[in-house]
Amino acid sequence: DNDYISWKKDATLEASAGLVFTGGTNGESVTGAEYQAFLDKIESYSFNALGCLATTTEIKSLFVEFTKRMRDKVGAKFQTVLYKKNDADYEGVVSIENKIK
C-alpha cells in the first residue's frame, strides 16, 4: 500500500478482457462545432497523423480543408486519415475504403 493505492490482498484475479462497462453514457452527439474547436486547439501542436472517425460529409470535409490549409499555408506536414472520403484527392489525406470485420 502507498499514498495512492490500497491493495486488496484477498482479491482473486480473473480474466476480463472484452468486458463491457455499465452505468455510463456516451454523452451528447458531437457536432461540427466540437470538431472545429478540437482542430483549433491542435493547430499549434506538431503531429504526424490525424484521424477522423466522423461519418458525415460535412465533418470529413472540415478535416480535409484543415489539412490542406495547414500543409499548404502553414507548412505543417501530416496526413489525415478518413473513412470513405473519395473526393478528397489530396496528398495529405488518406481515405480508407474497407470496413473492419
Closest CA to 82 of 43, 59, 61, 53: 53
pLDDT digits (tens, 9 = 90+) for 44-100: 999 999 999 898 999 999 999 999 999 999 999 999 999 988 888 899 999 998 876
Q: What's the predicted TM-score (pTM) here?
A: 0.72
Domains of the chain: 34-96 (3.40.50.11790)
One-letter amino acid at 69 equals: R
Q: Which residues pair with 96 in a beta bridge?
A: 83
